[in-house]
Chains A and B, each alone.
Chain A
């Protein structure tokens, strides 16, 4: 597949002239991304009559802009009020929300925006340039390799457990157990559903997500007057534009971190069926593994915010590659975009580059232009958005609970899901009060079913031979990398502690 750079340049300039489509799509995307339960996928379905009324090119630009901006929007409530808008933003509050509590919400938002935009922009350009090679990734990452990728994400439980091994592991296994509720993928046999039909299709992610993070947080913050610490409140009272610029500067100074974590997102996004949740947890785990200050993760560490935000935006362009190159969408939103284009009489697949290159390349130029316009529109809003954190918890807690309950209801329209969110809220609250890490539970809930899915598929392919997990050369290399990434930090940590212990002795001498 040859890339027509002339056409690409022409398209790039032309896409900018559709700012009047991109701008409302960005605003809509930010809103639906920020509301738990809503997503680009269901918004595109709701707006189907409108996109059908548009020319295919404009419809595509609108959908792509909505998709990219909703990804960024999901990070906003995750940072400000500990409510990840989607599963892809589940790793964002791990360090984003502690920053907010410290009164650095504005910096956190700016870091999130810059990481998202540059991560998204970079991976969009990379996707376009390296499309023929990147599309090969899907041919090599099969279920065996995906098991290892999942374990990279799940191994975060172990690192979270480092502070209190037993509690961390209990929380992680508890999450994994919850994740296995539902019908199995082979024989569709319901397991652990307690007779609830609503659990047959697995524990829905949004109620689990908002329950564990947001509802439990609302229960917890109501005990105080503000979600901010006293110092945080002082900082927020004095905050001005300089905090936004400080965030921009801090994010740009981590340019290398943005690059490699967004590439993790791009590569995972290329695999059909993977997704932003996996990418953000894997990026977070890798970021922590290679950090010189891993102990700061979870306390408002900047790298811990940059990594998931860059990665989940890297996924966005990645999901378009299998759709355009092998005709198989990389994710739910890409699949729905394909359906919409089909209504326009456009069949999405490799022949689109020949038959309608303006659409095939246009998807990427629209994404690049969206990111460029987005940074200009969203960055000034950081200051005003962050003001929500100074609202008293008397108002904030009920708003969070009612907002999240509505969000839990939206994706499936089951009242059951609202009760489920409350139940997860109680579990999260008890976990917080007893020192169990809710993030460890959540990682199990999100990645557990995916791990099981790939594991059962691999077992089915090998007809029950467990050794299948070591049957691929690439997989084996990844196993070694996994082991290294788990044990090297432990070794380095031990060596650092030994040095620290040795240092006073030397001084004494």
Chain B
């Protein structure tokens, strides 16, 4: 730190602290009512069905950091993890007001799959995804310290000799489905071990407890010093420069798997909110679409080291199509996901 550039001086720090304290004090005053204006006139709540600090949190913060400029309001995130996203969705559907001030930000892939395995208590038709934020394919990865398994061929070859333990975030997850399908196709034996989230899955693979892992690529591609991505469940390798060892499973093994987007994060809302407040809904959708083309959003995404290439807008119709498609795959593998095979 000898060449430390001390931009953040003591004075600035104290100024900042003073300003924060002042702002906090001001926010206590009942001045909001005096400025009743068009939507939105208060903060928007985001329900996140996973823990703070995860991929959804990161994506949501990057997106809302720009979206707030168009809506001229702030976002408040609430994290409701548990039971593979069920707690977050059930809480949102049960408690959030249908006023367009409450949204959910989830991962369509694993969360919709979970509904296939266990039906939620709410009517699926009463809920709608309104904008897909990213499209992140499922991948297979190994630890760089793994001396035996270096490529997907090594994995399949070894899997034919013994059952390999595969670290996955959840059983009902597109990346998990990809591994199951690969095993079925090649005859290799894979034993899925759910480790509750990307962080634990990476830890399981890094520490050698798991033979290899399967996750959305975004959570592994940033860790190139520790892991090699050896296969991707997509039409093509979306990041050939960053996933140099990754083969496309369909091409390599002659399979016809549909793309398994393990990360398909999206904003959702209650249909009732749209019906009650179509004007507000329009403001939401009009403004959020502007975010995708805003250079500030690209900067925010790149700051998180997530690949910008994965960011793509998906309309409500696109989202609905994705939900139907992932539901169909889930039905096909339901027995494997519930352990009733």
Contacts and interface: CB of A to CB of B under 8 A. Distances in A.
Contacts of A358: 1, 4
A197 B226 contact: no
Nearest to B202: A328
Contacts of A327: 202, 206, 223, 225-226
Nearest to A350: B225
Contact of A186 (B1, B80, B171, B203): B171
B1 A362 contact: yes
A347 B199 CA distance: 14
Nearest to A58: B8
Contacts of B225: 327, 349-351
B203 A322 contact: yes
A323 B285 CA distance: 39
B59 to A, nearest CB: 12
Given A272-B207, A328-B202, A461-B193, A350 B4 contact: no
Contacts of A292: none
B171 A14 contact: no
Contacts of A185: 194, 196
A418 to B, nearest CB: 16
Contact of A461 (B78, B165, B196, B202): B165
A343 B191 contact: no
Interface stretch (B12-20, B98-106, B176-184, B264-272): B12-20
A53 interface: yes
A339 B58 contact: yes
Given A50-B20, A339-B58, A345 B87 contact: no
A139 B191 contact: no
Given A187-B338, A342-B305, A45 B52 contact: yes
B335 interface: no
Interface in A3-60: 10-11, 14-15, 20-21, 24, 41-42, 45, 50, 53-55, 57-58
A336 B86 CA distance: 23
A73 interface: no
Interface in B47-96: 51-53, 57-58, 61, 78, 80-84, 86-87, 90-91, 94
B82 A201 contact: yes
A139 B1 CA distance: 31
A329 B207 CA distance: 12
A190 B83 contact: yes
B196 A460 contact: no
Interface string A174-185: 000000001101
Contacts of A186: 171, 194, 339
Given A24-B17, A342-B305, A362-B1, 20 more contacts: A14-B1, A20-B10, A55-B7, A58-B13, A139-B208, A142-B207, A183-B83, A188-B83, A188-B170, A188-B172, A322-B203, A327-B206, A327-B223, A327-B225, A332-B51, A339-B53, A339-B57, A412-B80, A413-B78, A461-B191
Interface of B: 1-2, 4-8, 10, 13, 16-17, 20, 51-53, 57-58, 61, 78, 80-84, 86-87, 90-91, 94, 114, 117-118, 163, 165, 170-172, 191, 193-196, 199-200, 202-203, 206-209, 222-223, 225-226, 303-305, 338-339
